Chains A and B, each alone.
Chain A
């Protein structure tokens, strides 16, 4: 095990983390502002990936695909918000969970209907293929570095959006007291649609970027959705900063756990047993992390210390 291998895994962890962040940021915004738990967020991720794969195959350009993923996911988000979510804001979480679960069924099967059950593949663009040397003598793919960069850029952009723009002021006000800002003349309905579209576009972006690393298939969104939930629980609901730090924690813990734990167990057990035990425990590492955070901070690292009624 060399230093460059560890660095490479660490970078993989960060890349995984920023990708989860793109999902978690949208989820946490939607929950923070509208009080809505949206299971169908994973479907928006899937829609982004499929749109990008289809458009990239049609035009031959990865970047057109990327643009299409943003547009398609945002459009799907707006549609879902206007048709379904709007009726759910005043309902309890149970109704929201069930309705968005129903949306997952519709989106997943609908996508299967249109694109078939076989996975699509999205090629990494020529410009971003190849690798760069990293300290310690290893090589690291440029494309993955790009994902990290885009994730960080989105993080900064969201921070700026929320803390330094009028829309951000309204979003924060909406989190605190939606009736009051409604009374002050802000069109809350438009605000909700905007927030939902932003979250959806980020999910679509994540789907499109990951689509070039993994295969694009039905059901790809749900595992990421659940990771985003873990992140939100760790970071605290409604907090972009919490989502960012939580995502990096989860991404690095998961990747490093899968890499290091089998090695670690090899010190004590025979190789086959060590791999089995190591990978089994590594697959639970992030949930254990979540449990530990919960024990000490039940409302997450950056969550407001208020009890939900």
Chain B
């Protein structure tokens, strides 16, 4: 058993262990922190699919995160007021059931991913970074200036949405939901990474021209990866809104895009469990440094800078060495 596998197990088992021990010690705040790690890690896993496998440096993943969040906010607010979301061409009523909301979040973020991806993938490299960033800002300003769903103030979700057989208002139950979704995404990621699609995608990152020259349509390949990545991040956004019971345009802001990217890079680009490790370290730093100083982000900045400059390959690279498939 190699070190990467060991580390994967350590993270995969450690997270529910922490939540479980916290439950026994009656520390609901720690359970909520573990849930936060699972959800932010999920968003990172989504980005890792585009960024790690496909080399698509998207600086606009907050769009999908926010769309997932707004799917929750909009549906739940309509469910509360018993008004339909739309009546034409077909009627959609509000909902407070998580699986139904997730479906909407998935469809909405897939559509957004398709649109943004189709336009952004016409370019590459640094243009791609700037364009995804710009589309992210576009969604942000739209959310601020569109008054129907709270505008700048956002939407409160008064009761956390329900999941069959669980009481999601109990922190540990909600952790279980979030963790299971994370596991599914991790499974999907690891399957995709070794599938023919994933291998071809990995090859486009290494040498686009060669992949094209063997007759693979790289544009469609990258677009598929981008949409898949958007969907996972959108789902994370839906869970995040339920965690905070609040959604606002700040979920769409570009710093969120940056933070999701930090999870991936801090953990180690392209490694399956790395975004979860990155998110865990981020949340721990946030709690710890936030207690030390009001200006904790300075220290976060310094740590990040050190990781980029001196620890290439992120924490996974430091602990488990170079990735086998990541050239």
Contacts and interface: CB of A to CB of B under 8 A. Distances in A.
Contact of B134 (A103, A233, A295): A233
Interface string B290-308: 0000011110111011001
Interface string A204-245: 000000000000000000110010011011000100000000
Interface string B109-135: 000000000010011111101110111
Interface string B84-122: 000000000000000000000000000000000001001
A280 interface: yes
Nearest to A300: B127
Interface stretch (B9-17, B139-147, B165-173, B182-190): B139-147
A222 B141 CA distance: 14
B243 interface: no
A37 B59 CA distance: 12
Interface stretch (B19-27, B228-236, B254-262): B254-262
A308 B119 CA distance: 17
Contact of A279 (B119, B124, B145, B305): B145
A31 B126 CA distance: 9
A93 B125 CA distance: 8
Contact of A106 (B57, B135, B265, B302): B302
A113 B301 CA distance: 14
Contact size class for A? 35 or more
Contact of A109 (B57, B138, B295): B295
B193 interface: no
B254 A294 contact: no
Contacts of A84: 305, 309
Interface in B270-300: 295-298, 300
Contacts of A223: 137
A113 B298 contact: yes
A109 B127 contact: no
Given A102-B301, A102-B305, A109-B297, A283 B141 contact: yes
B120 to A, nearest CB: 8
Interface string B41-52: 000000000010
A35 B12 CA distance: 39
B247 interface: no
Contact of A294 (B59, B122, B138, B141): B122
Given A101-B262, A307-B124, A283 B134 contact: no
Interface stretch (A121-129, A130-138, A284-292): A284-292
Interface in B219-251: none
Interface in A259-309: 276, 279-280, 282-284, 287, 290-291, 294-295, 298-300, 307-309
A109 B298 contact: yes
A229 B298 contact: no
Given A99-B309, A109-B301, A284-B142, A222 B254 contact: yes
Nearest to A37: B126
A94 B51 contact: yes
A95 interface: yes
Contacts of A88: 309
A99 B305 contact: yes
- The B contact surface, by secondary structure, is helix
Interface string A57-99: 0000000000000000000000000001001100001110111
Contacts of A282: 145
A113 B59 CA distance: 28
Interface in B138-180: 138, 141-142, 144-148
A141 interface: no
Contacts of B142: 280, 283-284
Contacts of B296: 109
A298 B305 CA distance: 32
A287 B134 contact: yes
A98 B125 contact: no
Given A94-B265, A291-B119, A294-B119, A112 B57 contact: no
Contacts of B122: 294-295, 298
- Residue of B125, B127, B144 ringed by the most chain A CB atoms within 10 A: B127
B269 interface: yes
Contact of A226 (B137, B208, B265, B295): B137
Nearest to A278: B145
A112 B57 CA distance: 30
Given A84-B305, A110-B295, A233-B130, 13 more contacts: A94-B51, A97-B261, A101-B258, A103-B305, A105-B297, A106-B301, A109-B297, A233-B123, A233-B127, A237-B126, A284-B142, A298-B122, A308-B127
Q: Which 6 pairs show the lowest CB-CB distances between chains A and B? A: A105-B301, A308-B125, A102-B304, A287-B138, A106-B301, A283-B141
Interface of B: 51, 57, 59, 119, 122-127, 129-131, 133-135, 137-138, 141-142, 144-148, 208, 254, 258, 261-262, 265, 269, 295-298, 300-302, 304-305, 308-309, 312
Interface of A: 31, 37, 84, 87-88, 93-95, 97-99, 101-106, 108-110, 112-113, 222-223, 226, 229-230, 232-233, 237, 276, 279-280, 282-284, 287, 290-291, 294-295, 298-300, 307-309
8 contacts: A95-B308, A97-B59, A98-B308, A105-B301, A109-B295, A109-B301, A110-B298, A226-B137
